[in-house]
Amino acid sequence: MPTVTLIEAVTMAMDHEMSVDEDVVVLGEDVGRNGGVFRATDGLQEKHGEDRVIDTPLAEAMIAGLSVGMAAQGMKPIAELQFMGFMFPAFNQIVTGAARLRNRTRGRLSVPLVVRMPYGGGIHAPEHHSESTEALFAHIPGLKVVTPSSPARAYGLLLAAIRDPDPVIFLEPKRIYRMVKQEIEDDGEAYPLETCFIDREGDDVTLVSWGATMHETLLAADELADEGISCEVIDIATIAPLDMPTIFDSVEKTGRVVIVQEAAKTGGVGSEIAAEISEHRLMSLIAPIGRVAGYDAIMPLAKMERHYMPQVVRITDEVKKVMDYS
């Protein structure tokens, strides 16, 4: 059983589906000969051919539009946009095309499309390379939005995304592309979409996060456990649609919630989770909902990134504030 990083798990999942389904194709900037800017598609063109791993011009709108057309005609394209910050030229095609085509044709056409995007900060990249704007896609009916927090989840969730009959935005937290390794059997076993994962059970407070910030959230839970605070840690994994029943069950048990996101605080996914809890489980709460987030500012450059992204100390401080509420 190979031990792989998150980026290698992404490659493994694409290779598996291309090997068993000839309708699966990959396209994007530098995905073929160069194997992608982060090497996610390394070796795929050599193995599967230039007609299935397609290098495109530097034109995100074209990549998205071409992919929508291919998907509507029965293919299963996996489109790579090199960075999430470059997705805005493609946004029109994704929102007005991919997300709406099933409804527009009353079910006659579907769009089994995966749009992969590296996202988030942590690699000291310049502006437009560090965004976490997942809330923009989560707001669009017709799109699923998924982000893995580990190599195993990258493999299982990407398999599910490729097999889904509708468009999936697959956000890859590049800060943890090579942070850890896990043993993964390349058996084609997909993880379910639309389902949260409970990474740790606890009784005192529920911590909710996703993507790269799961790393800090789990470290914070370790520190808090040493101080006698038992944290239940939830990785939502599928940002849209949200699996709120799993979160509700945890809130009923703990009565306290802290939500951790890298994205800017205002209008983020964390705000929606907090609103859902307030609307449906208000009487289960024994303290106000806490939020730890990025700031309402552009991600700063280089080493200043760490001051923007949630750190363990910010999470533990917020948890203690929630625990001390009376």
What confidence tens digit (pLDDT) does each residue in 312-325 have?
999 999 999 999 99
136/205 same-domain check: no
pLDDT of residue 129: 85
pLDDT of residue 1: 81
274/228 same-domain check: yes
How far is Cα 56 from Cα 236, in angstroms, rounded to an integer? 33
156/70 same-domain check: yes
Range of the domain at 204: 197-324
For the chain, the domain total comes to: 2
User: 0.85 exceeded by the pTM?
Assistant: yes
Asked, for residue 192, whether it belongs to a domain, the answer is no
171/201 same-domain check: no
pLDDT of residue 232: 98
Q: Which of 16, 48, 124, 129 is catalytic?
A: 129
48/174 same-domain check: yes
pLDDT of residue 125: 81
103/65 same-domain check: yes
129 is catalytic: yes
- State mean pLDDT over 44-54: 98
**Domain boundary, last residue among 183, 210, 239:** 183
157/249 same-domain check: no
We report the CATH number of the domain holding residue 30 as 3.40.50.970
Asked, for residue 106, whether it belongs to a domain, the answer is yes
Query: Over pLDDT 70: what percentage of the chain?
Result: 100
